[in-house]
Amino acid sequence: MIRRLFLPLVLIVAGFVGGLVITGRMRLVDDSSAATAPSLEFEQSTSAAPRPATPPPSAPVLPAGAIDFTRVAAQGVKGVANISSVQVVRRSNSPFGNDPFFQYFFGDQDPFGARDRRSLSLGSGVLVSADGFVVTNNHVVGDNVREITVALADKREVPGTLIGTDPATDIALIKIDVKGLPALSWGDSSKLQVGEWVLAIGSPFQLSQTVTAGIVSATGRANVGFADYEDFIQTDAAINPGNSGGALINIRGELVGINTGIFSQSGGYQGIGFAVPSNLARHVVDDLMKFGEVRRGTIGGILSIDSLSPQYAREIGATDTSGAVVMRMRRDSEAYEAGVRAGDVIVRFNNTPITDPSQLYRLVADARIGSTATLRVLRNGRSLDFRVPIVSDVRARQ
């Protein structure tokens, strides 16, 4: 009987003791939590204390092999300005001025009359000297310009004076009465290589100090229809309306071109832009500074030249279409007296083979005025040499 009562008694006592142990541990945990609470509050109050000033951002970390344009771009935008010019354009009062039917009957005689109207042209310009000479495109200032305003990178707007223009290369030179300008240094465009990085800086759509990056796609581009004297740098750096006259610089910050135009079927950027090489632009600027005009050579008497067609090449026995065909010339001229005739195909100028009319134009234009050049022409399957004088090109100054 006692044994039967002993076992339940032991179980009851064991349960009672276990309950005391568990209850004590719970109290210990609560006490420890209460003891650590003040330290938590202290940490929070400590974190709310003022933090030390954040150090200024360092230079951007670039992947290995990447090029950092930030320094070059920051310096380049200082040497590029906004150009706005007011031109006087004579326009017809007739509502049918562009109607071919109207023009067929009246021609240049407009019974409605015409009047002068003001036209605003916007573009970019490059500071090429600290004393205020600014290079831009001829089509930016236009003909019959009345007012020119140059907006500098520091937000100053100053009036400009047109020193001279060169329609053959689409270059114009402006002077502003400001000293100490951050002019860009001239680079050597003859050292440009295809694939080299370049930056285009200008004011497309009046968005000042816009910088775009690309590469040199080609050099020596001609026959694109922008100017008479064409020797363009082609680039895929984005060039848009308003970029005309802006700077094309290399990764050393040197001016290697003057942005001129784009090839586009949409009117906007399509990856093909053109710039006048710095060596050519610098030559034009030097002449405009010294003479107010660009002095170029020409062959007196040759009025126009054209490309050699495959059909005409077969007729004269030429092996390819390289050369320039003399289309029109004057009888009372030095070239005619030397023996050159219309229909001749000029295939060599001095010691340089001629590939197309644009190349011949550049070679003659760059020849020294007063010198004598040797022309090799093809005529009826025969190769003939003539010596012709290089005279001043009067058309370049008109």
List the catalytic residues: 139, 170, 244
Residue 361: helix, strand or coil by DSSP?
A: helix
CA 276 – CA 190 distance, rounded (Å)? 12
Judge contact between 285 and 128, C-beta under 8 A: yes
Judge contact between 260 and 276, C-beta under 8 A: yes
Please report where in the chains the tokens 């100017």 appear, as a residue. Answer: 227
Please report where in the chains the tokens 């000042």 appear, as a residue. Answer: 208
Query: Residue 335 corresponds to which tokens in the numbers above?
Result: 């070239």
Q: What is the DSSP string of 281-327?
A: HHHHHHHHHHHSS---EEETTEEEEEEPPHHHHHHHT-SSS-SEEEE
CA 22 – CA 30 distance, rounded (Å)? 13
CA 251 – CA 37 distance, rounded (Å)? 61
Exposed e or buried b per residue across 178-200, where buried means at least 16 C-beta atoms within 10 angstroms of its C-beta: beebebbeebebeebeeeebbbb
